[in-house]
Structure 1
Amino acid sequence: MAQIIKPDENTKEEAVHHEPYARTIPSNKLDALAPLHWLALALNDFRKAPVLSLSYGALFTLMAFGIFGAVYLHGSHLVILPTLVIFVLAGPFLATGLYDISWELEKGHSPSLGHALHAMGRNSVSSWGFAVLLAVIMIFWTRVAALLHALYPATQGAHLEEYLPFLALGSLFGTVFAMAVFGISAFSLPLVIERKVDMMTAIFSSVHAVHSNPVPMILWAGIILMGVLVGFATAGIGLMITMPVIAYATWHGYIATIHTKHKRHYE
């Protein structure tokens, strides 16, 4: 007969809670003009922490200078790809520092460079994984664009009809890639920082939130695109302002969209 062993009454078994992997965190329904409110909150954050904001923005500007300088020195646009890969890999980590600044202001604290730098390593595994995923997608996107370039007319002065296959397929694939990148990255990094979730949970939750709010997300994508274009159109100088503002607005958008653990109240 099997022996029944009773647990020691003096021994307490500690319950361990494991978060499910690759789950989808619910999201809220947003007003169509919600991104404009996020932008207003972001500008207020920039006003409250101008030195820190400009310091982080200067790092984005330096990376833009690196891209421009590499193109000038090599005399070829082909060098843009490897430099952009570096930009994509470094960008998420710089953004996490900016999210922390906005988060500290949200809690009523005074943000500091040391605290922001510490936040950059808070969930480094997921952050690195996400950055590498974006870099791989960008490289694949560039390879597809190179293949589509074969459809470009070989003769100069070709009629418009000869450009249509290249323009149509290029626009189609470009739109698909842009939508995919925006969907997976809209709220992933703030979620990785605040909830310390795995990368796939962050991606699934971000895609779900974007899919559930198409109109405000289209507006938000347009705001991001405009900020990046203004930044590069000013030879990278404008990135000192546009990138911190976009990062702060992203944090406020995350707080308004994703069901967080500490809604407007943090430890």
Structure 2
Amino acid sequence: MLDSAQPVPAPAAVTPEIRRIGMADVNWALSEGWKDFTAKRGDLIFLGLLYPFVCLLAGAIALNDSLLPLFFPAVAGLSIAGPAVAAGFYELARRREAGLESSWWHFFDPLNGRSRTPLAMLSLGLAVLFGAWLMAAYLIYAATLGQTGAMQIGDIFGRLFTTPEGWAMIVIGHLVGAAFAAVTLVFAFISFPMVVDRSVEAPDAVRTSLAAARRNPGETLGWGLRVGVLLVLGTIPFAIGLAVVLPWLGYATWHLYTRVIVR
């Protein structure tokens, strides 16, 4: 009989088998994700989560012009938080795939079961990335457009597109933003659905996500480009489209995970 005072050794980390996929699988995941969305939309959930944040940020900027340079980076950075918020959609897609009941209360199942701790750890990692992105965005502004004086709401677009500093901020900001997007992609596109799907620790899920990106570099890039285009389209106008795009991508990410990982 085991001594109850002795610690139980943790299970050895095991990286699951990773498939080599093609771009047809990436497109299939988006197609299946759209089917899930039409069956279980989810846009109302994102309206409730997304727009209070945008309105709060807009209100803060209206009271303090010094926060204006962070408005667009903050809205753009919502994509960094997307994999964490979409955990409920991974669960709904998993249940639909397995032929299980997929009522809306199952959206919150990952917060209550074995997935809770690894999800919290992965979400903390995304929060660190989001904070680093905002800091980088502000430093880029300070080194470029900020050199021309304090920004006002009425002259933001004029100074952004008609000054060398404004164009420098656009170019550098996009390059740095692309780097953050790439890090987020390889960190999250497999790790989040994986901790919803199986009992696994967050570091093991991240290692699997990185390994999947190395195994399928072109497909990972293709997926990231499609995600980026959809997110940009979703922000027009006033980020309304994100209420559709984010749930759709949540469902599609689950289906991509099922093609990449042998379960």
Superposed pair shares fold, TM > 0.5: yes
Tell me which of 210, 222, 240 is aligned to 1:207.
Answer: 210
1:243 partner SS: helix
Task: Report % sequence identity.
Answer: 23
Tell me which of 118, 123, 132 is aligned to 1:126.
Answer: 118
Q: What CA distance in whole angstroms lies between the structure 2 residues aligned with 1:85 and 1:139?
A: 13
* 1:142 partnered with 2:145: no
In the superposition, relative to structure 1, how do residues 29 and 150 fare at CA in structure 2: closer, same or farther (>3 Å)? same
1:181 is aligned with what amino acid?
T
* 1:40 partnered with 2:43: no
Spell out the pairing of 1:91-240 with structure 2 (5 A cutoff).
91-122=82-113, 123-149=115-141, 151-152=143-144, 154=147, 173-240=176-243
Q: What CA distance in whole angstroms lies between the structure 2 residues aligned with 1:86 and 1:170?
A: 12
Q: What CA distance in whole angstroms lies between the structure 2 residues aligned with 1:82 and 1:121?
A: 32
In the superposition, relative to structure 1, how do residues 249 and 82 fare at CA in structure 2: closer, same or farther (>3 Å)? closer
CA-based RMSD? 3.6
Q: What CA distance in whole angstroms lies between the structure 1 residues aligned with 2:166 and 2:81?
A: 36
Quick check: 2:23–2:219 contact (8 Å CA) kept in 1? yes
Post-superposition Cα deviations, 1:191-230, rounded to whole Å, max 9, x if no partner, equal 1111131111111111111121122212211221122222
In the superposition, relative to structure 1, how do residues 165 and 258 fare at CA in structure 2: closer, same or farther (>3 Å)? same
* Unaligned segments of structure 1, at least 5 residues: 1-10, 261-267
* Unaligned segments of structure 2, at least 5 residues: 149-158
User: How many equivalent pairs are there?
Assistant: 245
Q: What CA distance in whole angstroms lies between the structure 1 residues aligned with 2:71 and 2:176?
A: 20
Q: What CA distance in whole angstroms lies between the structure 2 residues aligned with 1:207 and 1:102?
A: 23
Q: What CA distance in whole angstroms lies between the structure 1 residues aligned with 2:80 and 2:168?
A: 33
Q: What CA distance in whole angstroms lies between the structure 1 residues aligned with 2:37 and 2:24?
A: 21
Q: What CA distance in whole angstroms lies between the structure 2 residues aligned with 1:72 and 1:238?
A: 24
In the superposition, relative to structure 1, how do residues 65 and 26 fare at CA in structure 2: closer, same or farther (>3 Å)? farther
Normalised to the residue count of structure 1, the TM-score between the two structures is: 0.75
Larger Rg: 1
1:39 is aligned with what amino acid?
L
Quick check: 2:57–2:71 contact (8 Å CA) kept in 1? yes
More helix by share: 2
In the superposition, relative to structure 1, how do residues 168 and 201 fare at CA in structure 2: closer, same or farther (>3 Å)? same
**Counterpart residue number, 1:3:** none
Normalised to the residue count of structure 2, the TM-score between the two structures is: 0.76
Task: Tell me by how many angstroms 1:81 deviates.
Answer: 9.1
**Counterpart residue number, 2:261:** 258
Quick check: 2:80–2:130 contact (8 Å CA) kept in 1? no
Q: What CA distance in whole angstroms lies between the structure 2 residues aligned with 1:147 and 1:90?
A: 21
